[in-house]
Structure 1
Amino acid sequence: MLQNPYTWVALAFLVFVGIVVKMAGKTILGGLDERAARIRQDLEQAQKLREDAQAALAQYQRKQRDALKEAEAIVTSAREEADRIRKEATAELTAVLKRREAQAMEKIAQAESQAVQQVRDLAVDIAMSATERLLVQTVDQSRSDALIEQAIADLPRKLN
């Protein structure tokens, strides 16, 4: 077996591999260890980033829910305010319409009163004119003097 060249080649190959492994093994294993450490750090960093992303997602979802609740509250408040304003406007319109109706009724009453007064004034004027014509035609001077004296005598009694 020692005389067989294949044995010597195999032995030389094993020695060579042993020396290479001994010399390069530390370098190769160190490189593999470094790479494993980097991969481990990358995984830890990725895990941390994932946890941060999940926390941020949860926070944004919470903010979104809060914003939706706030929006609903604003809409509800706006509806209530619109109802209140509508009721106030309706009440104010009703009050304004009642005031205008009262003013119109007052103006109608004033116009009616003025019309009645004008009719009375016209009736008095017509009656005075007719009376004057009648008196001028039917009363003579002596009768006129007697009527004037009687009116003067009745004046104090009528003024009280």
Structure 2
Amino acid sequence: MANSSETLFTTQDTEAETHASVAHHEGGEHAIEPTAFGLEAYQWVSVAMLVLLLIAFLGGKVHKSIGGGLDSRIASIREQLDEAKKLRAEAEALRQEYADKIAGAEKDAAAMLDHARTEASAIVERAQADTEATIARRQQMAEDKIAAAERGAVEDLRAEAASAAALAARGLIAENYKADADRQKVDEAIAGL
């Protein structure tokens, strides 16, 4: 009998709860929770957690393969970064080398320009000295030619003057001295001896 009173008590509580839940539903306070495939919401949450845990344990291999893939990708990216650093260092070294070469070339060009200016000024000085020497030589040659021409002209004039004087003297002698005068002069000269 204790059993039947206990069953009766449970049945009455269940009916009271059903009436209370219907009253709440009709009053709009509390609705009945839906079920699917005979499972209620908390049971579905438990099933979802179980599935998630199974996926986590069974998918650990997937996680490891994904992690391994990511690790290999990270390693290749690190290698590429290291190679890029090496290439950058080489590029910097080449840039510095070319900058040094350019600076050296600029110094060489400046030195060559200074040397060329020095040589050009020396050539100009030599050309001026050579020009002055040539002018002096040509002037001396012209003066020598002029002096020679003057001497030649003077000698020609003397020769012509001597020739003219001789002609004039012959003419004067021929006019002033006759054969008698010549004998007289010869006699005087002999007597003076």
State TM-score, norm by structure 1. Answer: 0.84
1:77 corresponds in structure 2 to 115
Q: Distance in 1 between matches of 2:147 and 2:91?
A: 82
Question: 1:98-130: per-residue Cα shift (whole Å, max 9, x none)?
Answer: 111111111111111111111111111111111
Q: What pairs with 1:29-44 in structure 2 (closer than 5 Å)?
A: 29-44=67-82
1:155 corresponds in structure 2 to none
Structure possessing the higher radius of gyration over alpha carbons = 2
Q: Choose the corresponding residue for 1:108, options 131, 146, 151.
A: 146
Q: Does 1:14 align with 2:53?
A: yes
Q: Distance in 2 between matches of 1:51 and 1:149?
A: 132
Q: Does 1:48 align with 2:111?
A: no
Paired AA for residue 43 in structure 2: N
Q: Distance in 2 between matches of 1:135 and 1:118?
A: 25
Greater mean alpha carbon deviation, residues 7-16 or residues 68-77: 7-16
In proportion to residue count, which structure has more helix?
1
Matched-pair identity in %: 33
Q: Does 1:137 align with 2:175?
A: yes
Count of equivalent residues = 149
1:149 deviation in Å?
A: 9.4
Q: What pairs with 1:119-138 in structure 2 (closer than 5 Å)?
A: 119-138=157-176
Question: 1:12-60: per-residue Cα shift (whole Å, max 9, x none)?
Answer: 232123211x221221111011001011111111111111111111110
1:148 deviation in Å?
A: 7.7
Paired AA for residue 15 in structure 1: L
State TM-score, norm by structure 2. Answer: 0.70
Q: Distance in 1 between matches of 2:151 and 2:91?
A: 87
Ranges in structure 2 where 5+ consecutive residues have no aligned partner: 1-39
2:29 corresponds in structure 1 to none
Cα gap change, 1:126 to 1:16, in 2 (>3 Å) = same
Cα gap change, 1:36 to 1:128, in 2 (>3 Å) = same
What is the alpha-carbon root mean square deviation over aligned residues? Answer: 2.3
1:147 deviation in Å?
A: 6.1
1:4 deviation in Å?
A: 2.1
Q: What pairs with 1:49-68 in structure 2 (closer than 5 Å)?
A: 49-68=87-106
